[in-house]
Structure 1
Amino acid sequence: MAASDTPAAGPSRRDYYHDPDAPPATRIVPGGVAVVADEHGRVLLQRRADSGNWALPGGTMEVGETLEQCVVREVREETGLDIEITGLVGIYTDPGHVVAYADGEVRQQFSLVYRGRITGGELRGSSESTEVRFVDPAEFARLPIHESTRLRLRHHLDDRPAPYLG
């Protein structure tokens, strides 16, 4: 199952991960993503229009919603799928991970990674993703995936007894 959309014109986002040349962060914005696996253990990923990397679907909170509501909304907007939150993979607040945007904003990473289960919807792309599909973990090494997302995927696959806190 895969869905595509038209790619954006060039990256408008750059992730820095423990990079001494990273610009200093100016904001922290709470965000979250969901790890949604199908019955075959494949993980729902999107190819981000703003960076070209494969990533977990999700985004940042809006006023008036909980982070869980944010993640459910963002997954629906980015993939067309409705989900329910079933657990927590971890909390990721590494100050060494900053994200610089084309408009000059630089954010320190603050993300909760939830587990989710599909409850409805139909897989499709969005303006934020050039492709959306379920990916077999054996493919992860061959795809352009940022190291911070690889860490989250490893924690999901490890099926840790407690959420990651870091």
Structure 2
Amino acid sequence: MRLDYFDDPKAPTANSIVPSVTAATRDEYGRVLLIHKIDNGFWALPGGAMELGESVRDAAVREVEEETSVRVEVTGLVGIYTDPGHVMVYDDGEVRQEFSICFHARPLGGKARGDMTESKAARWVEPSELSKLSIHPSMRRRIDRALEATSEPEII
């Protein structure tokens, strides 16, 4: 279980920081690949923590395939998100400060489906449908930025 705090004065103080990645993957129809997360119930871009011995690019490719069964190629940078006002509280007592690098990616193959460990569902979503989904504000910021027609990465 995970509880997110975003600019909440009642949030506990972070006691860890873990480099993580997300990938905004868009198909040929302009849809974005999202997962329905098991740990907090929100819809999100697929992603997760880097592992020792891998690059952030490799971590993004691995995480997308693990969580969605879709193979991707990283094509650019959406932004770097390190807002100390966003912390995640885990059952084991860890309180993690956000540190996420979000990439643009394109699909190479595979059929979207949840892994039933971290994601209960994975699907391609039309941008016009995003407002109907429960998406955490920090994740929605990444998605919106990825959908913008700008080449400048966002750094927070």
1:120 to 105, 109, 115: 109
Alignment of 1:3-22 (within 5 A): 12-22=1-11
Counterpart Cα distance in 1 of 2:7 and 2:139: 14
- Alignment pair present for 1:96 and 2:90: no
Query: What is aligned with 2:139?
Result: 149
Gaps spanning 5+ residues in structure 1: where?
A: 1-11
Counterpart residue identity of residue 151, structure 1: R
Counterpart Cα distance in 1 of 2:122 and 2:111: 11
Counterpart Cα distance in 2 of 1:122 and 1:140: 20
Query: What is aligned with 1:76?
Result: 65
Counterpart Cα distance in 2 of 1:59 and 1:69: 12
Percent identity over paired residues: 52
Query: What is aligned with 2:18?
Result: 29
1:135 to 125, 130, 147: 125
Counterpart Cα distance in 2 of 1:160 and 1:104: 39
Query: What is aligned with 1:3?
Result: none
Secondary structure of 1:100's counterpart equals strand
Counterpart residue identity of residue 50, structure 2: M
Counterpart Cα distance in 2 of 1:148 and 1:101: 17
1:51 to 40, 46, 57: 40
Counterpart Cα distance in 1 of 2:151 and 2:54: 28
State the 4+ residue runs in structure 1 displaced beyond 3 angstroms: none
Secondary structure of 2:151's counterpart equals coil
Counterpart Cα distance in 1 of 2:107 and 2:151: 22
- What TM-score comes out, normalization by structure 2 length? 0.96
Gaps spanning 5+ residues in structure 2: where?
A: none
Counterpart Cα distance in 2 of 1:86 and 1:109: 23
Counterpart residue identity of residue 31, structure 2: R
Secondary structure of 2:28's counterpart equals coil
Could you say what the CA RMSD is over the residues aligned between the two structures, in angstroms?
0.8
- Alignment pair present for 1:165 and 2:155: yes
